[in-house]
């Protein structure tokens, strides 16, 4: 939203003469809420896990442990935010190692888009 020379990003809320106001209800809907979206997400996760295992073998110990922990959260969690956080951690490492991490990074980006972001 733009007002004069002021640019606003995100929510802008104006409340006048209210009583008992609670706040904003911000609900998000993810593509994975549909059976087709959930199935596509699970297929992508199944394809990603072996790529992360291969990547882990080529990493220094600290990075390998980070990817291993992320694998458990990516494969085991149905909570979109837990999965997103794990994907972002693994993706950062995959991106940092360049060509070696490119296949995993591409799939991570696909999964993140399925999660709505």
| CA separation for the pair 99, 92 (Å, rounded) | 13
Query: For residue 29, what pLDDT band results from cuts at 50, 70 and 90?
Result: very low
Provide the CA 53 distance to its chain's centre, in angstroms.
19
Place of tokens 């990075």: 63
pLDDT 10s digits, 82-93: 999 999 999 999
Confidence (pLDDT) at 70 = 95
Give the strand pairing for 6-7 and 2-3: antiparallel
pLDDT 10s digits, 53-65: 999 999 999 999 9
How do the domains of the chain map onto residue ranges?
30-114
């Amino acid at each position: 939203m733009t007002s004069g020379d002021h640019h606003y990003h995100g929510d802008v809320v104006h409340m006048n003469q209210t009583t008992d106001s609670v706040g904003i209800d911000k609900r998000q809907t993810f593509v994975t809420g549909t059976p087709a979206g959930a199935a596509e997400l699970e297929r992508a996760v199944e394809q990603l896990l072996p790529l992360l295992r291969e990547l882990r073998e080529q990493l220094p110990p600290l990075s390998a442990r980070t990817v291993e922990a992320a694998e458990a959260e990516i494969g085991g969690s149905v909570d979109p935010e837990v999965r997103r956080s794990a994907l972002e951690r693994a993706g950062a490492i995959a991106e940092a190692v360049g060509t070696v991490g490119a296949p995993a990074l591409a799939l991570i980006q696909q999964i993140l888009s399925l999660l709505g972001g």
